[in-house]
Chain A
C-alpha cells in the first residue's frame, strides 16, 4: 500500500488522542471511586443505583420513625407503670379497709391517701408528651384534658370520648369529642405492600400505633361497681358514671369519707384495672420489640442493598490501577513512536 506523509501524522496523532481520552476517563473513575459518573456510563446500572438509593434512604427514614415511636411509647409505658404502682397501694388499702378492724376515723384518714392516689392517677391519665400532645386522648391529642368532670355526676370523671363528658348542654364547656375513641396514629416502620393506611383505626403490619385511647387503657370493661356516692345499699345514680379506675377510686374515697368499708366490687375492680394496665403495658412493650425487630431487619437488608449498590456503582480500584498503568504506558509509547516516525524523511539524506 502506498503511504502518504500525512498518514503517519494522522495515525500518530489519533492514537495519542485516543490514549489521552482513555486516561481522562480512568482518571475520573479513579478519583471519584465510581464506575458510573454519568448516566451514559451505564444507563441501566444507574436506574438500579437510583432505586437502591431510594430503598436505603427509605429504610433510614423508617428507622427514624421507629425511634420516634419508641420514645413516645416509652413515655406511655412509664405513665402506666406509675399508675400501676399507685393502684397497688390503693388495692392494699382497699383490702385493709374491708376488714372490720378499722374505725371511722381510720377510714377518713385513709381517704386522704386515696385522694393523693387519685390526683397522681389523674395526672398520669392527662399526661402530655414533649410536643404538648395528650398521650391518652386517642386522636384528640390537643384536648385540654383527656378525662373531664362527669356532666351528670359531679365529682366523678368521664373520658372525653364518653357520652358522660359534657357535650355543651349541661356544663357548657363541651370537651366531648367522639374522635377520642380512636387512636389511629400509626407510624410506618417498614415497607407496606399496599402503601395505604385505611381510616378504620386498625393499622397494618408495617405500622405501629403510637396514640392510645384513654378509655381502653384506664377503663374497666368488666367493672362491677354500682355507683351510689359511697353508700352501702344506697340508690344507684340514674346516669351511671363510666367504669374507669378513676371513678372506682372516687367511689372508694366516698365510702371511706362516709366512714364505711369499700364494697367488695371496688376492690375487685381495682384488681381488674391493674390487670388491664399490665396487659396494656405488655402490649406497648410488644410494639417496642416489633420496632426493634423491624429496625434490625431493615439494617441487615440495608447491608445487602449497599453491597449490591457497591457492585454496580463503585470502581474496582485494583482493576482501575492496572488500567491506569496500561494506558499510561500506551500513551508514552504512542508519543515516542510519533516523534521517531516524524524524524524519518528521505529529505534528511539529500544534502
Chain B
C-alpha cells in the first residue's frame, strides 16, 4: 500500500530518471545517429482503500528510443545513392578536367598536323615543310600520349579504390556483426531494448550503405541481416559474415580489379551487380566512363592511324619509293582468360580491310601492279575505318569446334561480315580476326581490346622527312601501272591533308560516314561531358531525396535543445514538487509525533 512518502520518493526517482534522460539527450545533441530518448512514465498499480482505489504514484516503465525503421531503411538507400553519384561525379570530374586540360592541345596539334600537310602540298620539295610534318606529328603524339597515359593511371587508381572500398565494407560488416551479437544477448537477458547499442548499429549500417547498396532484414532475435546487389547477395545472414573480396579479373593480363563473393563454395564476380554506394559509383565510372573514354579515344586514333597510313601507301616519297607506314600501325594484344587452355598467341586481330592481296605497304615493282587495285584497297580501308566501333571483344568457343565473337560489355553475339579470305578469317567492325591457326577448346575465352591497344602504341613511325610520300600516281598513266609522278607533284599529300575535312568515321548501314577525325575526338569529349553532367544531375536529385529523409529522421529522432530545455524545466518542477511531497509527509509525521508527545 502506497503512502505519501513512498509516492513522493517514487516520484522523485521517476523525475530524476527523466532528468537524467533529458541530460543524456542534451549530451548527445550532436552525436551522429543518435535517436532522442523518452522516459515512459506510468502510474503504479492502485491499492484498495476501503471503498476506493488509491493511486500508487509513478514509475519509469521503459526508456523509449524515438525512431522509425521505415525512415531508417530509406535513409540507407538514399545514402547509397548520394555516395554513389558523388563518387561517380568526383572521378568523372577528374577525367573531364584531364580531357578539358588537354583539349586545346590535342585540337590544336591535330589542326597543325593537317596544316603542315597542306604546307607540304604547297611546296612538296621543301625539306623545311616536310620536317614540319614530322615535328607536328611528334607534338600530336606527345599530347595524345599524355592523355592516354593518365587515363591508364586512372584505371590503376580505380583498381586500388575498389580494393580499399572492399576492405571498408568488410570492416563495417564485422562491426555490425559484433553489435548484432551484443544486441541479441542484451535482448535475451533483459526486457529493455539496448537503445544506444541500436543507435550504434543503425549508424554502422548507414556507414556501410555509403560503400555499397544494401537491403536490411530485421530478425526476430533482434539481429539484422544485410544483403547487397538489390537484395540478391547475402553479406550478413543469420549473423554469418560473407566477405567481399577484391581480386584480379579473369583476364589476368588486363590487370583489372574486380569484386568477388564466395557463396556455397562458388566464387562469383559481382562487379556488375553492385549498384550503389562508393563502390557502386567507382565501378559504374569504370565501365561507363573510363573504359568508354579510352575506347572512344582509341577508335579515333585507329581511324587517324589507318586513314593516314593507307593514303600514305598510295603515294611515292622523294626517292621514288612507295609510301611506307606513317603512324605505328595497330597492334592488338589477345588476352586469354585464366581458365583458357589456349594462350591466344595464334589469334591475330589487325586492321586489314581489303580482300585484295597483298596488303600494303607496297614495294617497288611489287603487286598489286594495278592502280585500280591499289585504289580499291584504299577504298576498302575507308569502308573499314567507317565500320570501326568503340567496343571490346571476347572470342569464345562455346562448343569446342569453332569460335564466336561477343561484345565484351553487353555480351551480345556479333556476326562477322561475309567475304572472308579463308576459313577462320573474319572481318568484323572494320577489323580482321584471324582464327585460322587456333584450335578451339570448349570454354576458351580471349579478350580483345583493339581501341585500348592503340592508346599504348600510338606514335609516328616515319623518321625521314624525305620518306613522306607527297607525290601521287603519274598523270601519264593515271589508271594503269603504278608509277610515281614528278617530284613537284602534290597529289598524295593533298589527299592526306584532305582527310582532315573528310568524313571517315561511324558509318551508317548504307556506308555513309558521319564524322571527321576531329568529330570522332569531339564525340569522345562530349561523351565525357555527358556522363559528368548526368552524374551531376543524378547527384543533385539523390541529395535532395536524401536531405528529405535526413530531415524526416531529424524531425522524428533528432534532439531539439529547446524541447529539452522545456523538459528540463518541467521535470525539475515536478522533482521539486515530489521533494515537497516528501517534506510535507515528514511534516505531517512530525505533527503527529508532536501531538502524541504533547498529549
Q: Mark A257-273, 1 if CB is under 8 A from B, else 0.
A: 00000000000000000
Contacts of A198 in B (CB 8 A): 478, 491
Known: A40-B529, A54-B111, A182-B476. A2 touches B556 (CB 8 A): yes
Instruction: Point out the residue from B478, B527, B532 that lies within 8 Å of A38, measured CB to CB.
Output: B532
* Residue B497 is within 8 A (CB to CB) of chain A in the complex: yes
* Residue B420 is within 8 A (CB to CB) of chain A in the complex: no
Q: List 15 A-B contacts (CB under 8 A).
A: A5-B29, A7-B555, A10-B550, A37-B100, A38-B93, A38-B96, A38-B529, A38-B532, A43-B528, A47-B526, A58-B114, A139-B489, A179-B486, A345-B565, A347-B561
Contacts of A181 in B (CB 8 A): 476
Asked if B525 and A178 make an inter-chain contact with CB atoms under 8 angstroms apart, the answer reads: no
Asked if A182 and B490 make an inter-chain contact with CB atoms under 8 angstroms apart, the answer reads: no
Known: A40-B532, A207-B494, A345-B562. A51 touches B551 (CB 8 A): no
Q: Which residue of B lies closest to A198 (CB)?
A: B478
In the assembled complex, the Cα of A68 lies from the Cα of B119 at a distance in Å of: 9
Asked if B107 and A10 make an inter-chain contact with CB atoms under 8 angstroms apart, the answer reads: no
Asked if A43 and B530 make an inter-chain contact with CB atoms under 8 angstroms apart, the answer reads: yes
Instruction: Point out the residue from A10, A38, A69, A195 that lies within 8 Å of B554, measured CB to CB.
Output: A10
* Residue A216 is within 8 A (CB to CB) of chain B in the complex: no
Instruction: Point out the residue from B474, B488, B550 that lies within 8 Å of A141, measured CB to CB.
Output: B488
Q: Which residues of chain B (475-517) have a CB below 8 Å from chain A? A: 475-476, 478, 485-491, 494-495, 497-502, 516
- CB A341 to nearest CB in B, in angstroms, measures 12
Known: A47-B525, A347-B565. A131 touches B551 (CB 8 A): no
* Residue B569 is within 8 A (CB to CB) of chain A in the complex: yes
- Add 16 more A-B contacts to A4-B559, A50-B521 (CB < 8 A): A2-B560, A7-B554, A7-B558, A38-B529, A40-B92, A47-B522, A47-B523, A57-B111, A139-B488, A140-B488, A183-B488, A184-B472, A184-B490, A199-B489, A200-B475, A211-B488
Instruction: Point out the residue from A14, A50, A195 that lies within 8 Å of B525, measured CB to CB.
Output: A50
Q: Mark B235-266, 1 if CB is under 8 A from A, else 0.
A: 00000000000000000000000000000000
Contacts of A37 in B (CB 8 A): 100
Q: Mark A102-146, 1 if CB is under 8 A from B, else 0.
A: 000000000000000000000000000001111001111110000
* Residue A338 is within 8 A (CB to CB) of chain B in the complex: no
Asked if B498 and A182 make an inter-chain contact with CB atoms under 8 angstroms apart, the answer reads: no
Contacts of B487 in A (CB 8 A): 139-142, 179
Q: Which residue of B lies closest to A192 (CB)?
A: B498
* Residue A242 is within 8 A (CB to CB) of chain B in the complex: no
Q: Mark B520-556, 1 if CB is under 8 A from A, else 0.
A: 0111011111111100100000000001001100111
* Residue A185 is within 8 A (CB to CB) of chain B in the complex: yes
Contacts of B36 in A (CB 8 A): 4
- CB B357 to nearest CB in A, in angstroms, measures 23
Asked if B529 and A139 make an inter-chain contact with CB atoms under 8 angstroms apart, the answer reads: no
Contacts of A46 in B (CB 8 A): 522, 525-526, 529
Contacts of A345 in B (CB 8 A): 561-562, 565
* Residue A346 is within 8 A (CB to CB) of chain B in the complex: yes
Contacts of B500 in A (CB 8 A): 54, 58
In the assembled complex, the Cα of A1 lies from the Cα of B501 at a distance in Å of: 64
Residue from A2, A134, A177 with most neighbouring chain B CB atoms (10 Å): A2
In the assembled complex, the Cα of A42 lies from the Cα of B99 at a distance in Å of: 14
In the assembled complex, the Cα of A177 lies from the Cα of B408 at a distance in Å of: 57
Asked if A185 and B124 make an inter-chain contact with CB atoms under 8 angstroms apart, the answer reads: yes
Q: Which residues of chain A (64-105) have a CB below 8 Å from chain B? A: 64-65, 68-69
* Residue A170 is within 8 A (CB to CB) of chain B in the complex: no
* Residue A39 is within 8 A (CB to CB) of chain B in the complex: yes
Asked if B494 and A186 make an inter-chain contact with CB atoms under 8 angstroms apart, the answer reads: yes
Contacts of A283 in B (CB 8 A): none
* Residue A312 is within 8 A (CB to CB) of chain B in the complex: no
* Residue A238 is within 8 A (CB to CB) of chain B in the complex: no
Contacts of B554 in A (CB 8 A): 4, 6-7, 10
Asked if B562 and A346 make an inter-chain contact with CB atoms under 8 angstroms apart, the answer reads: yes
Q: Which residue of A lies closest to B484 (CB)?
A: A179
Asked if A5 and B498 make an inter-chain contact with CB atoms under 8 angstroms apart, the answer reads: no
Asked if B561 and A5 make an inter-chain contact with CB atoms under 8 angstroms apart, the answer reads: yes
Asked if A14 and B547 make an inter-chain contact with CB atoms under 8 angstroms apart, the answer reads: yes
In the assembled complex, the Cα of A41 lies from the Cα of B97 at a distance in Å of: 12
Known: A187-B121, A347-B565. A182 touches B111 (CB 8 A): no
Asked if B499 and A199 make an inter-chain contact with CB atoms under 8 angstroms apart, the answer reads: no
* Residue B407 is within 8 A (CB to CB) of chain A in the complex: no
Contacts of A39 in B (CB 8 A): 96, 99-100, 103, 525-526, 528-530, 532
* Residue B144 is within 8 A (CB to CB) of chain A in the complex: no
Q: Which residues of chain A (204-220) have a CB below 8 Å from chain B? A: 207, 210-211
Q: Which residue of B lies closest to A138 (CB)?
A: B486
In the assembled complex, the Cα of A300 lies from the Cα of B123 at a distance in Å of: 27
* Residue A196 is within 8 A (CB to CB) of chain B in the complex: yes
Contacts of B485 in A (CB 8 A): 139, 179, 182, 184, 199
Q: Which residue of A lies closest to B311 (CB)?
A: A196
- CB A195 to nearest CB in B, in angstroms, measures 4
Asked if A199 and B491 make an inter-chain contact with CB atoms under 8 angstroms apart, the answer reads: yes
Q: Which residue of B lies closest to A350 (CB)?
A: B565
- CB B161 to nearest CB in A, in angstroms, measures 21
Contacts of B489 in A (CB 8 A): 139, 179, 182, 184-185, 199
Contacts of A199 in B (CB 8 A): 472-475, 478, 485, 489, 491
Contacts of A40 in B (CB 8 A): 92-93, 96, 528-533, 536
Contacts of B498 in A (CB 8 A): 188, 192, 195-197
* Residue B519 is within 8 A (CB to CB) of chain A in the complex: yes
Contacts of A2 in B (CB 8 A): 555-556, 560, 563
In the assembled complex, the Cα of A61 lies from the Cα of B556 at a distance in Å of: 69
* Residue A33 is within 8 A (CB to CB) of chain B in the complex: no
Contacts of A58 in B (CB 8 A): 111, 114, 500-501
Asked if B30 and A6 make an inter-chain contact with CB atoms under 8 angstroms apart, the answer reads: yes
* Residue B118 is within 8 A (CB to CB) of chain A in the complex: yes
* Residue A180 is within 8 A (CB to CB) of chain B in the complex: yes
In the assembled complex, the Cα of A292 lies from the Cα of B312 at a distance in Å of: 31
- CB A46 to nearest CB in B, in angstroms, measures 6
Known: A46-B525, A197-B491, A345-B561. A179 touches B476 (CB 8 A): yes
In the assembled complex, the Cα of A196 lies from the Cα of B375 at a distance in Å of: 12
* Residue A278 is within 8 A (CB to CB) of chain B in the complex: no
Q: Which residues of chain B (357-393) have a CB below 8 Å from chain A? A: none
- CB B534 to nearest CB in A, in angstroms, measures 9
Q: Mark A12-54, 1 if CB is under 8 A from B, else 0.
A: 0010000000000000000000000111111110110011011
Q: Which residue of A lies closest to B123 (CB)?
A: A131
Contacts of B468 in A (CB 8 A): none
4 shortest A-B CB distances, which residue pairs? A139-B486, A4-B558, A39-B529, A179-B486
In the assembled complex, the Cα of A161 lies from the Cα of B195 at a distance in Å of: 104
Q: Which residue of A lies closest to B553 (CB)?
A: A4
Contacts of A191 in B (CB 8 A): 501
- CB B27 to nearest CB in A, in angstroms, measures 13
Contacts of B176 in A (CB 8 A): none
Known: A38-B532, A40-B533. A188 touches B526 (CB 8 A): no
Asked if A3 and B529 make an inter-chain contact with CB atoms under 8 angstroms apart, the answer reads: no
- CB A26 to nearest CB in B, in angstroms, measures 16
Asked if A350 and B472 make an inter-chain contact with CB atoms under 8 angstroms apart, the answer reads: no
* Residue B9 is within 8 A (CB to CB) of chain A in the complex: no
Residue from B478, B526, B556, B559 with most neighbouring chain A CB atoms (10 Å): B526
* Residue A239 is within 8 A (CB to CB) of chain B in the complex: no
- CB B553 to nearest CB in A, in angstroms, measures 9
Asked if A54 and B530 make an inter-chain contact with CB atoms under 8 angstroms apart, the answer reads: no
In the assembled complex, the Cα of A346 lies from the Cα of B569 at a distance in Å of: 11
Q: Which residue of B lies closest to A39 (CB)?
A: B529
Instruction: Point out the residue from A134, A139, A188 that lies within 8 Å of B121, measured CB to CB.
Output: A188
In the assembled complex, the Cα of A53 lies from the Cα of B522 at a distance in Å of: 11
Contacts of B355 in A (CB 8 A): none
* Residue B349 is within 8 A (CB to CB) of chain A in the complex: no
In the assembled complex, the Cα of A141 lies from the Cα of B96 at a distance in Å of: 49
* Residue B469 is within 8 A (CB to CB) of chain A in the complex: no
Q: Mark B90-107, 1 if CB is under 8 A from A, else 0.
A: 001100110110010001
